[in-house]
């Protein structure tokens, strides 16, 4: 790596002013971004008092599920509960929308109020109030009511108005509210528990297989069809704002709108005939116990839509079974490239979706595919309807348990379900960390091959950005530090931290490497934003972009900024973790990796501005602003080893390593400030380079001219 050079024509004072102005601009943008933050979580107690104005006593959360009981003297008026405590279902952000629900003793919902959400979809022009208004529609509904989003004509079903542009969010809210209400009603005897008792699920008979072509599979119901023409769709939108978008001519009305086939692909006769045996075996290897696969093959209207690109959720398809309904995320989806069975028609879209274990899917019970059709009525407004089709697996493919002898199935904890779902991602991250550990333990040998090590490091940084950052969303945050600190001060619960396995293993690795090497291993190798900056810095070096150099006296004082930011955020976290989380947007991580720049322009401009600085000054954000780096740097002073080697000539007079250190962690006297070091190992490559390190060069020159006895004395 090349040393930074100053802009020609600019003195050191001018450069310092440029850096100061740039930092001021970035902090100004962060302040603007902070003004766009969603409101902090609401307190539940005033909302409970509003729902029960005659209450004389309100208990704390008790029981399983956790419920607050409301009394008037000795009479129970009703119950209040948070969906996070009873039915935690992740939405667009990967986090649930926590809703407070109040219900009377007859099972009638009195109110539903959003307490907290982290939905990125509401940060791009949709006001939060629409979410609160949506929750208000549950007032007066019975826990026994089947509730759906959108327009429909099903009997015994209540249809609620959705939120244009946030369809998936409100669908997840609906699932959470109604599932939680049902569980609370069962627990308190409001509805009959036997009606909601779990029936032991059937299993697939893996020993049954028959060769079948497309005609046979569709003929016996193994593969079902949902065929809809334009006229049927137009009829469904009659009476809505989208009615005027109907097909005009009889020929247009008779044209096919969607021709969609669906099936359960993990059944051997179906899966092996459609995919071929090798592809079927590959698919089955992706499944955890209790998981199943649904395949969709379609022409015409796309069942994928665009929601999965923006937020990872396929918002045009839902699966219903009993009182459960669920959608699919991008992590559940695989594209099918070809079909094996003879006679199979050509399809524009072919996909398989994994039904995860926590959905408690029963292949022996009827399930229903729902296709949502949306018509645009404005820039972001629209109305939608849906079409449904049933599926029953042929009985000869199933094994049904004896209900009288079936043992009770133990439900996995939420964190166990998450670890099962993300086992592949987590395993890859763990393997990468083991590889990094091997490199660090062998660093004294590997630095003697600088070209090879530099290429490995660049490849690892690309892996960090793409896989850890964008695929796994494994960017650590200073908010994680505050959450851990508050847990230590309160009731510590490991399950909170186990809910994101990638984040958990990364923090475990950080804790271990801080003791051995200090801050630098994470900041220099595993931080996605830091890696992205470094890649841009490498690009700048290739393009020979001149670099802003900062005098060490200024550089040393700019280090303090990140510690001041950390101190301010920590103080806010003691008052309110939610408020601290909002101001932690000084970290551009959420914009860059969680939302992939799908935000309002100030957030994008702030993150992009920080990345742009990396082209002119290596990792400016990491060095001066990052509160996470400051939080990791403080305890790293207690590291057990100093494995970065120095010579007595370092700094006195040799300054080669100090000049080449692109983040300025080597002070003029030659010592390495391990609180600022990113462990890139560049200085160690120079240390072992006898053609580059002056003390080493001088030593080897003496060695080549000395007698054997003198050589031994020089080496020792």
pLDDT > 70 fraction of the chain, expressed in percent and rounded: 82
What's the distance, CA 334 to chain centroid? 18
Both tokens of residue 66?
């956790």
Query: Which of 437, 466, 463, 442 lies closest to 452 in space, CA to CA?
Result: 442
pLDDT of residue 409: 42
**Which uninterrupted H or E stretch holds 327?**
strand 324-329
Task: For Cα atoms 338, 339, 341, give the angle at the middle one, nearest 5 degrees.
Answer: 155
For residues 42 and 581, give the distance between their C-alpha atoms in angstroms, rounded to a whole number: 15
322's torsion region: left (phi>0), alpha (psi -120 to 50) or beta? left
The yes-or-no verdict on residue 94 having pLDDT over 70 is: no
pLDDT of residue 23: 56
Half-sphere exposure in the Cβ direction for 444 (13 Å, CA): 6
For residues 406 and 393, give the distance between their C-alpha atoms in angstroms, rounded to a whole number: 21
| Cβ-contact 174, 149 below 8 angstroms | yes
pLDDT, the chain, mean: 81
Question: pLDDT: is 307 or 626 the higher one?
Answer: 626
Q: What is the largest CA-CA distance in the chain?
A: 104
pLDDT of residue 19: 58
Confidence of residue 299 (pLDDT cuts 50, 70, 90): very high
The yes-or-no verdict on residue 9 having pLDDT over 50 is: no
pLDDT of residue 15: 56
The yes-or-no verdict on residue 3 having pLDDT over 70 is: no
Average pLDDT of the segment spanning 253-275: 93
| Cβ-contact 335, 392 below 8 angstroms | no
Query: Which of 484, 428, 440, 432 lies closest to 459 in space, CA to CA?
Result: 432
**Which uninterrupted H or E stretch holds 422?**
none
The DSSP bridge partners found for residue 113 are 100
pLDDT of residue 692: 81
Q: What is the 3-state secondary structure (H, E, C) of 8-29?
A: CCCCHHHHHHHHHHHHHHHHHH
For residues 413 and 495, give the distance between their C-alpha atoms in angstroms, rounded to a whole number: 9
The yes-or-no verdict on residue 573 having pLDDT over 60 is: yes
Average pLDDT of the segment spanning 609-632: 89
The yes-or-no verdict on residue 554 having pLDDT over 70 is: yes
Q: Residue holding tokens 């079927």?
A: 280
315-361 pLDDT tens trace: 889 898 877 788 888 888 899 988 988 899 999 999 999 998 878 88
213-245 pLDDT tens trace: 999 999 888 999 999 999 998 888 888 887 887
Question: pLDDT: is 696 or 368 the higher one?
Answer: 368
Q: Would you tell me how many other CB atoms lie within 10 Å of the CB of residue 92? A: 24
For residues 596 and 585, give the distance between their C-alpha atoms in angstroms, rounded to a whole number: 14
| Cβ-contact 369, 389 below 8 angstroms | yes
pLDDT of residue 528: 93
pLDDT of residue 468: 92
For residues 376 and 360, give the distance between their C-alpha atoms in angstroms, rounded to a whole number: 35
pLDDT > 90 fraction of the chain, expressed in percent and rounded: 24
Least confident of 120-129, 285-294, 585-594, 682-691: 120-129
The yes-or-no verdict on residue 78 having pLDDT over 80 is: yes
269-293 pLDDT tens trace: 999 999 988 888 888 888 888 899 9
360's torsion region: left (phi>0), alpha (psi -120 to 50) or beta? left
Confidence of residue 493 (pLDDT cuts 50, 70, 90): low
What are phi and psi for residue 430, nearest 5 degrees? -65, -45
Half-sphere exposure in the Cβ direction for 246 (13 Å, CA): 18
Least confident of 303-307, 472-476, 622-626: 303-307
pLDDT of residue 293: 95
Coil, strand, or helix at residue 75? strand
Query: Which of 583, 619, 577 lies closest to 481 in space, CA to CA?
Result: 577
The yes-or-no verdict on residue 294 having pLDDT over 90 is: yes
Q: Would you tell me how many other CB atoms lie within 10 Å of the CB of residue 442? A: 10
187-204 pLDDT tens trace: 888 887 655 555 577 889
């Amino acid at each position: 790596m090349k040393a930074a050079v100053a802009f020609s024509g600019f003195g050191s004072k001018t450069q310092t002013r440029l850096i100061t102005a740039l930092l001021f601009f970035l902090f100004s943008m962060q302040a603007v971004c902070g003004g766009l933050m969603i409101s902090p979580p609401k307190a539940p107690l005033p909302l409970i008092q509003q729902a029960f104005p005659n209450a004389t006593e309100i208990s704390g959360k008790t029981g399983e599920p956790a419920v607050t009981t409301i009394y008037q003297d000795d009479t129970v008026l009703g119950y209040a509960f948070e969906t996070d405590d009873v039915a935690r279902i992740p939405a667009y952000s990967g986090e649930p929308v926590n809703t407070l629900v109040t219900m009377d003793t007859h099972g009638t919902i009195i109110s539903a109020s959003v307490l907290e959400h982290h939905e990125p979809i509401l940060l791009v022009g949709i006001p939060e109030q629409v979410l609160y208004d949506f929750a208000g529609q549950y007032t007066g509904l019975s826990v026994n009511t089947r509730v759906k989003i959108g327009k429909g004509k099903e009997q015994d079903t209540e249809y609620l108005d959705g939120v244009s542009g946030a369809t998936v969010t409100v669908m997840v809210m609906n699932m959470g509210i109604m599932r939680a209400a049902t569980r609370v009603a069962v627990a308190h005897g409001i509805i009959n528990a036997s009606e909601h008792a779990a029936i032991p699920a059937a299993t697939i008979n893996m020993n049954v297989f028959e060769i079948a072509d497309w005609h046979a599979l569709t003929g016996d119901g193994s593969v079902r069809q949902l065929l809809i023409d334009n006229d049927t769709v137009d009829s469904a939108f009659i009476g809505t704002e989208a009615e005027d978008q109907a097909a005009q001519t009889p020929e247009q009305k008779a044209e096919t709108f969607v021709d969609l086939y669906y099936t359960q692909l993990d059944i051997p006769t179906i899966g092996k005939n459609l995919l071929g045996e090798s592809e079927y075996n590959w698919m089955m290897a992706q499944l955890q116990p209790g998981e199943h696969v649904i395949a969709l093959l379609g022409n015409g209207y796309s069942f994928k839509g665009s929601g999965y690109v923006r937020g990872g959720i396929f918002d045009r398809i839902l699966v219903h079974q009993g009182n459960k309904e669920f959608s699919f995320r991008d992590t559940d989806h695989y594209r099918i490239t070809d079909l094996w069975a003879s006679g199979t028609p050509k399809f524009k879209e072919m996909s398989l979706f994994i039904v995860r274990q926590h959905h408690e899917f029963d292949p022996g019970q009827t399930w229903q595919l729902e296709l949502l059709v949306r018509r645009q009525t404005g820039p972001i407004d629209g109305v939608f309807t849906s079409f449904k089709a049933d599926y029953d697996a042929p009985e000869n493919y199933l094994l049904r348990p004896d209900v009288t002898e079936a043992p009770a199935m133990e439900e996995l904890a939420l964190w166990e379900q998450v670890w099962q779902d993300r086992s592949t991602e987590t395993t890859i991250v763990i393997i990468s960390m083991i590889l990094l550990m091997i490199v660090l333990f062998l660093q004294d040998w590997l630095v003697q091959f600088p070209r090879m090590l530099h290429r490995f490091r660049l490849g690892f940084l690309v892996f960090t950005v793409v896989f850890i950052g964008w695929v796994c969303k494994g960017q650590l945050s200073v908010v994680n530090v505050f959450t851990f600190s508050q847990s230590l001060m309160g009731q510590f619960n490991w399950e909170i931290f186990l809910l994101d396995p990638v984040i958990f293993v990364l923090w475990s690795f950080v804790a271990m490497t801080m003791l051995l090497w200090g801050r630098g291993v994470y900041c220099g190798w595993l931080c996605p934003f830091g890696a992205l900056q470094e890649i841009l810095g490498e690009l700048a070096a290739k393009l020979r972009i001149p670099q802003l150099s900062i005098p060490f006296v200024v550089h040393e004082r700019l280090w303090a900024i990140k510690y001041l930011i950390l101190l301010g955020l920590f103080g806010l976290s003691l008052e309110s973790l939610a408020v601290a989380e909002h101001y932690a947007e000084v970290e551009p991580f959420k914009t860059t990796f969680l939302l992939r720049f799908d935000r309002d322009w100030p957030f994008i401009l702030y993150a992009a501005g920080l990345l742009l600085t990396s082209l002119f000054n290596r990792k400016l954000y990491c060095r001066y602003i990052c509160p996470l780096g400051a939080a990791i740097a403080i305890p790293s002073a207690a590291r057990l080893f100093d494995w970065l080697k120095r010579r007595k000539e370092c700094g006195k007079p040799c300054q080669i390593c100090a000049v080449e250190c692109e983040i300025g962690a080597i002070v003029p006297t030659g010592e390495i400030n391990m609180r600022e070091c990113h462990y890139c190992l560049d200085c160690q490559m120079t240390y072992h380079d006898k053609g580059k390190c002056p003390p080493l060069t001088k030593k080897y020159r003496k060695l080549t001219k000395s007698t054997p006895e003198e050589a031994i004395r020089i080496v020792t």
